[in-house]
């Protein structure tokens, strides 16, 4: 679902911003959004592992990672705001997210619970593939005019339908669950 949400934000977010904020803020807000989405996507993969560490009471190193990431975020955002403005703040947020959640976090999981890094990457590969296929399949929707909320929500519905088809095609367990429900309905 994170693939649907974040790819949808990358593609349809500027349309929503145009409807919501109006013309003067669209370009700047869209660029900030597009800077943050890939880092947020990568950071979402750490969420289940973080919950696992919390549930096991392995808080010390996780807390340290989060605090150091926050300090890096603040420091880098302050350093980049003057030369790059709001884009510097977005980069100051995105870069630490990628480093700490995308690179350091798998090593933390290996240290805390013994999960090999290749297994962590393998667990997330299908979601990344689904996200990339979805992004490729509906990326052109970024250029479809959406002057009204009605048209925007129709476009969103179409993107959700495409996402569902991709998941059914690429995720065997999702396909099996749907077939099982369909068979149960026939009985």
Read off the pLDDT of residues 47-77 as tens digits, 9 standing for 90 and up.
889 999 999 998 999 999 999 999 999 999 9
pLDDT value for 1:
55
The pLDDT mean for the chain works out to 87
Give the pLDDT score at 185.
66
What domain range includes position 163? 2-186
* % of the chain beyond a pLDDT of 70: 96
User: Cα(113)–Cα(58) distance, rounded to whole angstroms?
Assistant: 9
Q: Check: CB of residue 44 under 8 Å from CB of residue 171.
A: no
Start-to-end Cα distance in the chain: 30
User: If you compute the radius of gyration of the chain from its CA atoms, what whole number of angstroms results?
Assistant: 19
**Segment 94-116 mean pLDDT:** 94
pTM for this structure? 0.78
- Work out how many domains the chain is built from and give that number: 1
């Amino acid at each position: 679902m994170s693939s649907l949400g974040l790819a949808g934000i990358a593609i349809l977010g500027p349309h929503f911003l145009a409807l919501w904020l109006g013309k003067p803020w669209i370009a700047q807000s869209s660029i900030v959004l597009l800077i943050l989405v890939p880092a947020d996507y990568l950071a979402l993969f750490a969420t289940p592992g973080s919950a696992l560490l919390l549930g096991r009471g392995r808080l010390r190193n996780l807390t340290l990672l989060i605090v150091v990431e926050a300090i890096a975020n603040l420091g880098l955002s302050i350093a980049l705001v003057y030369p790059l403005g709001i884009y510097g703040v977005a980069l100051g947020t995105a870069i630490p997210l990628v480093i700490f959640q995308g690179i350091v976090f798998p090593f933390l999981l290996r240290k805390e619970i013994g999960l090999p890094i290749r297994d962590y990457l393998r667990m997330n590969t299908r979601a990344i593939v689904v996200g990339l296929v979805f992004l490729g399949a509906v990326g052109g929707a970024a250029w479809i005019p959406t002057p009204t909320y009605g048209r925007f929500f129709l476009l969103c519905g179409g993107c959700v339908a495409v996402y569902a088809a991709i998941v059914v095609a690429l995720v065997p367990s999702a396909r099996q669950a749907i077939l099982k429900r369909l068979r149960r309905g026939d009985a």
